[in-house]
Amino acid sequence: MDNIISYLRGHREEYLNKVKDIVAIPSVSSDPERKDEIIRCAKHLKNDMADAGLENLELKETPGNPIVYGDWLHADGAPTILIYGHYDVQPEDPVDLWNTPPFEATKVDDRLYGRGVIDDKGQLYIHLAALKAWFESEGELPLNVKVIFEGEEEIGSKHLDDFLKENKDMLAADCVVVSDTGMFAKGVPSITYGLRGLAYFQLDVEGPDGDLHSGSFGGPVDNPANVLVRMLAKLKDENGRIAIPGFYEDVEELTEEERENFAQLPFDEEEFRKESVGAPGLAKDDEFTVLEQLWCRPTLDINGLYSGFTGEGAKTVIPAKAMAKVSMRLVPYQDPEKIGDLFEEYIREITPDTVNVKITRMHGGYYFLSDVNEPMFEAARESVQRAFNKETALIREGGSIPFVHSITNILNSPAILLGFGLPDENAHAPNEWMDLDNFYLGMESIAYLYDEIAKRT
Ligand code: BES
Ligand code: MN
Ligand code: MN
């Protein structure tokens, strides 16, 4: 391994520049006007994958954005891993809050700033660097590798499930490796064994044919904005309990063992409130700690609200329409489809006959939960320990990656979520950054991972 590690240490600058180059392509998947950038990014990535030593490169078309595929399958008798990541990124807005241009990755001390640096472009290049280092130092890999990088993760991976089902044989692998999660804290390399799922909806409340004078019509006309907030208020009680009947039916109880493990992690709730959140207080929960709430409990959040007059000054108007975006983070073993049905049923039930409510189901995705005794975890743990020289934490995360549940079910293979982000790196927000120590040690971890997995089979 020494040659591989020195190769990586000697080529840090080169890989940093490669990340800068791909960050310069604004592959924002939610913006239809940037479809060309998505394609440009996929092609650029394909070239860099070829440069890293992968073969059979292809842009696999889907009804949406292409999936970039490459492999190296010459380790006869050795196991095969499937590496996943996403090359699409979140929008850069609000752009005026960035201190450096979002698509011009900028190094400041030991940080790289730019949209997608950590979610997930930097993490893709951790894998490409590790592959390249193996090829350049050893001329081969100790195992077989298949790579898929998708372009629709940030918009719910809509076309991925069909692709996975249709290409089951092509993707077959003994283990799935994903670097799209984070570390518990700086200096605490982490393996993620659980993710939350997601169910996302838009509600459109429609009342009168058009906006009305609130003096001439106020009273007998039920105001869609009032109706909407009344309905939203019925979704969750003061204690944070979600009021949709049947919502908690499939929620798994936490085990004492897991609670004890969480309690041992270096986490301070007051510091979290002050430093990470910055709010005067946190939503009270008598039953669960903050980490338990973040990782193991479902949520219901209003993500956006819009109605009526929001400009300067006052306008006496009854708006014709009101809109809300509402999403729920789901946990094992909640099914997003079933939750969608329960949500719709409840919304119908609480809709007064003075308005029409349109419910649009937006994206969703399943939770992920892995058995921590899975033998591949040992390989991952050993790899990060070799690179970081630190104990590894086993954690869950509150975010979602729909791919993970899908692929593990389709292939019936375990997944290792080995990511190198930090909780305060501003993913999805202005001034997203990547810690360069983690970037470089991440490369070494992944290089060791190939060795550790190969050793065990
Ligand atoms: N990389 C994140 C998922 C993530 C977030 C993992 C936080 C661990 C901690 C991913 O790119 C993401 O943002 N996922 C979306 C999924 C959604 C669009 C279906 C999310 O969690 O909102
Ligand atoms: Mn991501
Ligand atoms: Mn993301």
Residue 399 lies in a domain: yes
Same domain, 313 and 204: yes
Q: What distance in Å separates the CA atoms of residue 334 and residue 347, rounded to the nearest whole number?
A: 19
Distances from the Cα of 341 to the Cα of 248, 351, 426, angstroms: 14, 15, 33
pLDDT of residue 187: 96
290 in a domain, yes or no?
Answer: no
- Give the domain extent around 305: 197-251+298-365
CB distance 433 to 425 below 8 Å: yes
Same domain, 97 and 12: yes
Residue nearest to atom 8 of ligand 1 (CA): 181
Q: Are residues 76 and 117 in the same domain?
A: yes
305 within domain boundaries: yes
pLDDT at position 284, please? 81
Residue 218 sits in the same domain as residue 169: no
Q: Which of 153, 154, 425, 432 is catalytic?
A: 153
User: Pick from 256, 228, 194, 453: which is nearest to 359 by CA?
Assistant: 228
Number of domains in the chain: 2
* 188 plus 211 within the same structural domain: no
Is 389 inside any structural domain? yes
**Annotated active-site residue in 48, 71, 88, 154:** 88
Which atom of ligand 1 has the smallest separation from the CA of 192? 8
Please report whether residue 281 resides in a domain.
no
Helix-helix angle 122-138:2-10, to 10 degrees: 130
Residues 201 and 191 in one domain: no
Give, using CA atoms, the residue closest to atom 7 of ligand 1.
Answer: 399
What separation in Å is there between the alpha carbon of 120 and the centre of ligand 2?
Answer: 5
116 found inside a domain: yes
Interior CA angle at 179 toward 100 and 366, to 5°? 110
Residue nearest to atom 14 of ligand 1 (CA): 400
* End-of-domain residue from the set 317, 333, 365: 365
Mark whether 312 and 439 lie in a shared domain.
Answer: no
Tell me: do 151 and 223 sit in the same domain. Answer: no
Here the tokens at position 414 are 């375990």
Ligand nearest to the CA of 397: 1
Taking the C-alpha atoms of 208, 209, 210 and 215 in order, what is their torsion angle to the nearest 10 degrees?
-40
CATH number at residue 162: 3.40.630.10
| Same domain, residue pair 184 and 308 | no
Ligand nearest to the CA of 156: 1
Rounded distance from Cα 232 to ligand 2 centre (Å):
29
Q: Is 153 a catalytic residue?
A: yes
Look at residues 307, 336, 365 and tell me which one is the last residue of a structural domain.
365
Angle at 423 between CA 107 and CA 418, to 5 degrees: 90
In a domain, 334, yes or no: yes
- Distances in Å between the alpha carbon of 333 and those of 158, 259, 296, 404? 21, 18, 11, 15
Task: Compute, in angstroms, the gap from residue 87 CA to the centroid of ligand 2.
Answer: 9
Calpha distance 145→141 (Å, rounded): 8
Ligand 1 pocket, Cβ-based, cut-off 6 angstroms: 119-120, 153-154, 156, 180-182, 198, 363, 365, 397, 399-402
Would you call 292 a catalytic residue per the annotation?
no
Looking from the CA of residue 155, the nearest atom of ligand 1 is 18
Pair 335, 442 in one domain: no
Q: What is the pLDDT along the chain (457 residues), one digit of tens a residue?
A: 999 999 999 999 999 999 999 999 999 999 999 999 999 999 999 999 999 999 999 999 999 999 999 999 999 999 999 999 999 999 999 999 999 999 999 999 999 999 999 999 999 999 999 999 999 999 999 999 999 999 999 999 999 999 999 999 999 999 999 999 999 999 999 999 999 999 999 999 999 999 999 999 999 999 999 999 999 999 999 889 999 999 999 999 999 999 999 999 999 999 999 999 999 999 988 899 999 999 999 999 999 999 999 999 999 999 999 999 999 999 999 999 999 999 999 999 999 999 999 999 998 999 999 999 988 999 999 999 999 999 999 999 999 999 999 999 999 999 999 999 999 999 999 999 999 999 999 999 999 999 999 998 8
pLDDT on residue 457? 80
CB atoms under 10 Å from CB of 226, counted, come to 18
Cα–Cα dist 381/100, whole Å: 36
- Per the CB < 8 A criterion, the answer to whether 390 and 183 are in contact is no
Q: Are 231 and 351 in contact (CB under 8 A)?
A: yes
Distance 213 CA to ligand 1 centre (A): 43
Domain boundary among the residues 319, 335, 365 is at: 365
Residue located nearest, by CA, to atom 9 of ligand 1: 399
* Gap from CA of 427 to ligand 3 centroid (Å): 7
**291-317 burial code (b ≥16 CB/10 A, e <16):** bbbbbbbbbbeeeebebbeeeeeeeeb
Look at residue 264 and tell me if it is in a domain. no
Q: Using CA atoms, how far apart are residues 151 and 89, in angstroms rounded to an integer?
A: 8
First to last CA, the chain: 18
CATH number of the domain that residue 309 is part of:
3.30.70.360
Does one domain contain both 184 and 202? Answer: no
What is the 90 CA–ligand 3 centroid distance (Å)? 7
- Mutating to test ligand 1, I would choose from 153, 155, 416 the residue with most ligand atoms within 8 A of its C-beta, which is 153
361 and 451 together in one domain: no
